Amino acid sequence: QKEVEQNSGPLSVPEGAIASLNCTYSDRGSQSFFWYRQYSGKSPELIMFIYSNGDKEDGRFTAQLNKASQYVSLLIRDSQPSDSATYLCAVRVGSQGNLIFGKGTKLSVKP
Amino acid sequence: ETGVTQTPRHLVMGMTNKKSLKCEQHLGHNAMYWYKQSAKKPLELMFVYSLEERVENNSVPSRFSPECPNSSHLFLHLHTLQPEDSALYLCASSQAPGQSSGNTIYFGEGSWLTVV
């Protein structure tokens, strides 16, 4: 069974710190990886996606992918209270598979 | 505001009622999805329509019935639901799998369903 695992948290970081969110997946055929942010009572919104091993940076966000370790992470630099949300990791197996979501990690950024 | 709109945003229904959730996407996508989100559970994929054909039905009870009249509209018909069906129901859209390297899914705001 294909699984995506995330620590449910809550992960608490002080304002201005780096928040590190981690995700592991079970299927080695996974090809694309997505991070979504979901505020309480709202729907998930896409932050970024990554396909290749290494780092991908977009503003304060950096996604890191290590396919050998089946591990993907999201770093948030200079964390702000407005970053407080649940972060969902999603994985697509192959080019035509559906997205499989983790349960999400709740992040709390304290002023 | 997103390119995927859902109505109603909130719905309370009795177990004997029949109601429908509606979804419309304005992104030019040709795949649409229904997801269920319950507390402390991962997002559960319910149905997938690709190019207006149902391509996946993840063992969803027959009291949930999807309808996709065209690539921009998706419905979820509800009848004789149970209290445990209370959840956030999310519609999403993307390009059909295999048609682009992205296939990024974009979600609507969701419909909060309470079954009493």
Are the C-beta atoms of residues B80 and B96 closer than 8 Å to each other?
no
Chain B residues within 8 angstroms (CB to CB) of chain A: 2, 33, 40-43, 45, 48, 56, 88, 90, 97-98, 101-110
Are the C-beta atoms of residues A5 and A91 closer than 8 Å to each other?
no
Q: What is the DSSP letter of A98?
A: P
Which residue from B41, B56, B110 is facing A98, i.e. has the nearest CB?
A: B56
Q: pLDDT tens, position by position, for chain B (116 residues)?
A: 569 999 999 999 999 889 999 999 999 998 999 999 998 788 999 999 987 777 777 789 999 999 999 999 999 999 999 999 999 999 999 987 655 545 788 999 999 999 99
Q: How far is it, in rounded angstroms, from Cα B46 to Cα B104?
A: 17
Task: Round to the nearest angstrom and report the end-to-end CA distance of chain A.
Answer: 40
Interface residue A19 vs chain B (CB under 8 A): no
Cβ pair A44:B107 closer than 8 A:
yes
